[in-house]
Amino acid sequence: MPRRSDEQTAAMRERIAVAAREELAATGASGLSMRRVAARVGVTVGALYRYYADRDQLLTGLIIEAYLAIGQAAESGERSVGAPAERWLAIFRAVRDWAKAHPHQFDLIYGSPVVGYIAPETTIGPATRILAPLIRTALTAPGRVDPSPVTDAGLASDLDRVRGWLSDQGYEVDPGTLPDSVILGVLRAWTELVGTIGHELHGHFVGSIEHTDDYLDEIARRTGQAIGL
């Protein structure tokens, strides 16, 4: 049997990814099945295993793809022309636009965990990509922020871990340059952004917040103001 070329392998992997995303939309991540994905692609299950060792490896590929895509959306917002506060707002809007266009991929990374699946370390880097545009924008904040460190030892160690990651990414992480309040502010903004989008996608604002565009913008402005934007 002739060996598959890199181009053929890449093309088949893309066909599999498309079919797997269709399955996500139809059944959710917990219902993802190699058999049904193979049927969508039009190949045998055995042929599918030549490209992915098992369902978890396929799921990992989809998760990494989604993290990178939402990170790219955040980066597109960061590239907007304007003051730091305007770029911050653009990041929020770009991430929300991506999530509304790809709700099943958003749920895959920020929804309920898939029973029995343990994400490998290879997902960590892609998962943090969304944070980089927020951090870079926060570092350009013109306003003053609270320079005092957190007093809880456990939380302080968590923030040191975040600083270690930032240092590995090439950022200046001296507490004088990046005080605890800014790190906390970015993490708060990230969780509020993701939580707000999740509530909107799942209909949790019905009967309360009807103007979700305005609501997200206000969340962006307030979280930005908290870190000096």
Dihedral angle of Cα 92, 191, 147, 142, to the nearest 10 degrees: 0
Q: What is the largest CA-CA distance in the chain?
A: 66
In the chain, list all ranges with CATH 1.10.10.60: 1-52
Does residue 20 surpass a pLDDT of 60? yes
In the chain, list all ranges with CATH 1.10.357.10: 66-226
- 116, two tokens: 């029995």
Distances from the Cα of 54 to the Cαs of 17, 18, 46, 185, in angstroms? 14, 17, 11, 39
pLDDT at 91: 98
**pTM for the whole thing?**
0.90
pLDDT at 4: 63
CA-CA distance, 51 to 16, in Å (whole number)?
Answer: 9
Whether domain 1-52 has CATH 1.10.10.60: yes
Contact 23, 40 (CB under 8 A): yes
CA-CA distance, 40 to 58, in Å (whole number)?
Answer: 15
Nearest in space to 98 (alpha carbons), one of 145, 141, 65: 65
Does residue 55 surpass a pLDDT of 50? yes
Label each residue of 157-204 as H, E or C: HHHHHHHHHHHHCCCCCCCCCCCHHHHHHHHHHHHHHHHHHHHHHCCC
Annotate 42-69 with b (16+ C-beta within 10 A) or e (fewer): ebeeeebeebbeebbebbbbbbbbbbeb
Does residue 123 surpass a pLDDT of 70? yes
Does residue 39 surpass a pLDDT of 80? yes
Place of tokens 């917990």: 30
Mean pLDDT score, 26-33: 88
The CATH code belonging to domain 66-226 is: 1.10.357.10
pLDDT at 3: 57
Q: What is the mean pLDDT of the chain?
A: 91
Q: pLDDT tens digit string along 152-200?
A: 999 999 998 888 888 887 777 676 778 899 999 999 999 999 999 999 9
